[in-house]
């Protein structure tokens, strides 16, 4: 028997969500122990700060410009490589993806994409290199219709809870404070999707023999919005006891001052003149948030994180009971972060900051591998995961993988920078940014905007229902290629002071931008946008 791989991902979880990364509210002893026994990457970054591109990078080991999923409405090509399929074919691994997938658009009302056709048909078999694939979304239903395998399971077994979740992506007020997408969810904890995913994983592990090698991706939909964990668990964290997050500037005047020194879409989002259609509900205006609403959202996020930690503990205990834990490599990470009150903002999108791009990433190698516990500060990324899985399985890294195996100590010389990209899917936005983290600095350059230029989305029926002729009209925020952001993340951990235009930083800025452009892959696979998610 070789080394098994348990790959655990969350959705939209901040680096500081965990106790091992400085979190002081949510109790995460299970993942904290993984960090203590393994390698905790202090500077791990996503390669794109929304779901589909990030998840496609984890599956393919490629940058978004290579696999083509540069935004949430663009499906991963059906012929895209899969690290699961590679491990299966080259090393005989049995493979499963249990939980959230999201390699194809979710707002697909007809089942045009395979990911959505499968759950409608009740299929759970071979897909994208996984022998078994059973999916969950953040809610049980959308507009009254069940979604994903989880929604179909609720419909068939517990229909009374199918509609218990807060509405997704409408910024509908709820909870105690009227916070957007917030709700006291009456669903019993054991039927909530976090425990449901853990149940699937336990059952999947029981289907394997002692002699099987396996790769299981356990993918939790939380703590992504809507913020509606089971009401029975809300006693864990009372929002009334919380302070505003340290990344919140503290007052409306200070928010305006901080955001006013950044490119225009930052302050425009807070003021309501820039709709963050690509990272959250388009009708949401952060400037209307109250301090109590931010506190309530954060409290519910902390509860979600505790439930995830406990679900991980249950799966790890099951592995231990089977005698497999010593031969299992365990990874824990997420797809991207969440603003979660930093700068007075919520959600994600085209905001190059550690709140969104810096990830929790932990690798507890199988004890049989003999890797010493460590904290690694060299920058790494999601693009490196596939190569690391290959190293564990003892197979060559295929030429389509663009990352390198994760280092287990600092100073290995293999990881000097991390890169992240943003490309708008909506043609009226046309925003394109490129970011690099290196040597303690986070630098972002904005390419000339292409607002109003066609990219394929203008022909999509769903998009036309949303925007109509506005798809072809540039929004007010358009960049000429001279704009950017530069932060000393050690001195300025919340990125409040933009150094881009400071004369003393000009040489550093130019060096980082040149390094960024030289380091990005030359391949850029532009695909027609097929739907919106």
Walking along the chain (533 residues) 10 residues at a time, the average pLDDT comes out as 93 98 98 98 98 98 96 94 98 98 88 94 98 98 94 98 96 98 98 98 98 98 98 98 98 98 98 96 97 98 99 98 97 98 98 98 96 98 98 97 97 95 96 98 98 87 85 96 98 98 98 98 60 37
Tokens of 528: 């027609």
Q: CB neighbours of 24 closer than 8 A, spacing ≥ 6?
A: none
Q: Write down the pLDDT at residue 525.
A: 61
- Decide the pairing of beta strands 132-135 and 94-99: parallel
Q: Which of 344, 333, 415, 342 is nearest to 382 (CA)?
A: 333
This prediction has a pTM of: 0.97
Q: Is the previous residue joined to 168 through a cis bond, with omega within 30 degrees of 0?
A: no
Rg (CA), the chain: 22
Written as one string, the DSSP assignment of 505-519 is GHHHHHHHHHHHHHH
Q: What is the spatial distance between Cα 501 and Cα 261, in angstroms, rounded to a whole number?
A: 10
Q: What is the spatial distance between Cα 26 and Cα 233, in angstroms, rounded to a whole number?
A: 12
Q: Write down the pLDDT at residue 530.
A: 43
Q: Write down the pLDDT at residue 533.
A: 34
DSSP SS3 for 437: strand
Q: Write down the pLDDT at residue 462.
A: 77
Q: Is there a contact between 263 and 444 (Cβ–Cβ < 8 Å)?
A: no
Residue with tokens 């100590």: 409
Q: What is the spatial distance between Cα 510 and Cα 522, in angstroms, rounded to a whole number?
A: 20
Angle (deg, nearest 10), helices 193-206 and 291-322: 10
| Full set of structural domains in the chain with CATH | 4-519 (3.40.720.10)
Q: Write down the pLDDT at residue 531.
A: 40
Q: Write down the pLDDT at residue 60.
A: 98
Q: CB neighbours of 465 closer than 8 A, spacing ≥ 6?
A: none
Q: Write down the pLDDT at residue 2.
A: 80
Q: What is the spatial distance between Cα 492 and Cα 241, in angstroms, rounded to a whole number?
A: 26
What's the start-to-end Cα distance of the chain, in Å?
41
Give bridge partners of residue 486 from the DSSP assignment. 443
Q: Write down the pLDDT at residue 259.
A: 98
Q: Is there a contact between 153 and 196 (Cβ–Cβ < 8 Å)?
A: yes
Q: What is the spatial distance between Cα 47 and Cα 63, in angstroms, rounded to a whole number?
A: 7
Q: Which of 289, 287, 291, 249 is nearest to 269 (CA)?
A: 287
Q: Is there a contact between 388 and 495 (Cβ–Cβ < 8 Å)?
A: no
- Cβ burial of 110 (10 Å; 0-12, 13-18, 19+) is exposed
Phi, psi of 507 (to 5 degrees): -65, -45
Phi, psi of 488 (to 5 degrees): -90, 100
């Amino acid at each position: 028997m070789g080394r098994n791989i348990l790959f655990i991902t969350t959705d939209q979880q901040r680096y500081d969500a965990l106790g091992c990364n400085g979190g002081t509210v949510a109790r995460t002893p299970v993942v904290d122990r993984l960090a203590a026994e393994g390698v905790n990457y202090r500077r791990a970054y996503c390669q794109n700060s929304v779901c589909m591109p990030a998840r496609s990078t984890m599956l393919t080991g490629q940058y978004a410009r290579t696999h083509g999923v540069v935004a949430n409405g663009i499906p991963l090509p059906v012929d895209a490589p899969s690290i699961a399929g590679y491990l299966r074919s080259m090393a005989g691994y049995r493979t499963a993806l249990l939980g959230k997938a999201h390699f194809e658009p979710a707002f697909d009302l007809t089942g045009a994409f395979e990911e959505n056709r499968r759950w409608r048909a009740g299929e759970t078999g071979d897909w994208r290199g996984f022998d078994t694939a059973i999916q969950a979304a953040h809610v049980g239903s959308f507009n009254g219709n069940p979604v994903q395998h989880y929604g179909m399971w609720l419909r068939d077994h517990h229909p009374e809870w199918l509609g218990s979740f807060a509405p997704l992506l409408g910024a509908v007020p709820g909870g105690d404070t009227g916070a957007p997408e917030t709700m006291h969810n009456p669903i019993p904890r054991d039927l909530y999707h976090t425990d449901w995913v853990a149940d699937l994983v336990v059952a999947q592990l029981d289907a394997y023999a002692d002699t099987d090698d396996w790769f299981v991706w356990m993918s939790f939909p939380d703590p992504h919005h809507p913020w509606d964990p089971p009401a029975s668990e809300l006693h864990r964290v009372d929002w009334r006891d919380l302070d505003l997050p340290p990344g919140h500037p503290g007052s409306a005047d200070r928010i305006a001052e901080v955001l006013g020194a950044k490119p225009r879409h930052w302050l425009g989002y807070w003021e309501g003149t820039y709709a963050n259609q690509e990272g959250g509900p388009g009708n949401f205006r952060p400037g209307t948030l109250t301090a109590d609403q931010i506190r309530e959202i954060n409290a519910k996020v902390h509860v979600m994180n505790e439930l995830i930690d406990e679900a991980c503990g249950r799966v790890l205990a099951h592995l231990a009971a089977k005698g497999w834990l010593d031969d299992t490599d365990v990874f824990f990470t997420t797809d991207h972060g969440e603003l979660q009150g930093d700068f007075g903002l919520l959600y994600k999108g085209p905001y190059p900051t550690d709140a969104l791009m810096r990830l929790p990433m932990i690798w507890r190698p199988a004890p049989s591998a003999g890797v010493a516990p460590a904290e690694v500060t060299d920058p790494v990324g999601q693009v490196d995961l596939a190569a690391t899985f290959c190293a564990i399985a003892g197979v060559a890294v295929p030429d389509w993988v663009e990352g390198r195996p994760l280092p287990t100590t600092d100073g290995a010389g293999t990881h000097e920078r991390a890169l992240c990209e943003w490309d708008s899917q909506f043609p009226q936005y046309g925003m394109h940014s490129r970011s690099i983290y290196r040597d303690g600095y986070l630098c972002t350059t904005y390419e000339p905007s292409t607002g109003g230029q066609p990219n394929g989305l203008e022909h999509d029926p769903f998009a036309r229902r949303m925007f109509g002729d506005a798809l072809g009209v540039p929004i007010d925020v358009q960049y000429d290629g001279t704009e950017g952001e530069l932060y000393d993340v050690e001195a300025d951990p919340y990125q409040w002071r933009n150094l881009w235009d400071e004369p003393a930083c000009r040489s550093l800025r130019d060096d980082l931008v040149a390094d960024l452009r030289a380091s990005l892959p030359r391949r850029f696979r532009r695909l027609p946008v097929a739907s919106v998610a």
